[in-house]
Structures are given as C-alpha cells and as structure tokens.
Structure 1
Amino acid sequence: MAKITKLLDIVGRLSDFDEEDTIYVSEPWTEDSDAMVATAPDDSIVPPKAAAEAGLTYFIEIFIAIEFTEAWVASQEEKPSLSAICQRLIEYATYDA
C-alpha cells in the first residue's frame, strides 16, 4: 500500500520509484504537501482509491518528473537545493505538464 509522505521527500527519491507510477499531491501544491506515489488506474489521471480518500490529486508521472528534474538540474551552473528542485517541479506540473 502506498504511504502518504511529503512531496519534498518523494522528489528527493524519484529514482527509488517505478517509472510507471504517478505522484498524487494535496492542493495547494507545496514541498510540504501530503503526497503519495501509486499506480494510476488504467493509465488515467484519476487517482487510485487510496489517493482519492486522502484528498490527493494527480500531480505528475514519475518518469516525467525524473526527465524534467534531471534536465533542469543539468542546465544549472550549480546543483540546486532539493527545495529548489521541488519548487521548479511544482511550477512545471502547474503550468507546463
């Protein structure tokens, strides 16, 4: 069973998760928001029952989060903090994904 944690914790461990899974987060999205990683039912953005019962909504798929954060970090002159990476991923999920 997927457990609820903070979005910042998930972003810090993206490579630990199955790339086919999806991140679900409580709104408004912040690094301290409750979040979980779970398998999306039938490739839809509808959250699985456990996420829905916890009031979490679709955020982004793991594989997209990994691709985006790796590319963004690589484009920076200095390695950004985990907090900065999380904030940039929230912006991406909000406006560009």
Structure 2
Amino acid sequence: MNAGYFIVIVLVSGFVAGTIHGAVNLAIVEPYLDEAIGIENQNLFTSGEAEDTPQFWVEYNSYRDWQKSGQLLAGGILGMSIGALFG
C-alpha cells in the first residue's frame, strides 16, 4: 500500500471516529450539562450576580448553540489527530 494512501485513510477514519464520538457525547452528556448549567444560572439569579432577563437568555442560548455545534468539529479534529499520532 502506498504511504500517502495509508495516511489519507488514517486521517479520514480518525475524523469519522471523532465525529461519531462528538455526536454520542452530544446525545448522552449534553442533557446533564444543560441541567447543571441551569442550576448554575439559577444560583447566579439568586445571588444577584445576573438578572433573569430575555437578553440574558438570548445570549445564553446563542452561546450554547455555538458550543454544541463546535463539539462535532472538535471531536472530528481530535479523532483525526489521534489517528495521525497512532495511525
């Protein structure tokens, strides 16, 4: 097998495996993270450090959506780098 072809196979398979890992993490872990962050937000409101306003929730939801969408890409990059390291 050609070395270049092998490297491409390793990188692509690592990226796919990492994306699957990110998707599973998104499906299984994220509900617990959302619940924990909700508790943290309620503590912020109770202590007066933040106000429970619509603007707060718009910013919060846009930031969390950004984090969740980046998780798949980050998983793919992680899988590709591990594949490159151990391929």
TM-score range, shorter chain: under 0.3
The higher-RCO structure (CA 8 Å, 6+ apart) is 2
Relative to total residues, which structure has the larger strand share, 1 or 2?
A: 1
Largest Rg, 1 or 2: 2
- TM-score normalised to structure 1 length: 0.25
Relative to total residues, which structure has the larger helix share, 1 or 2?
A: 2
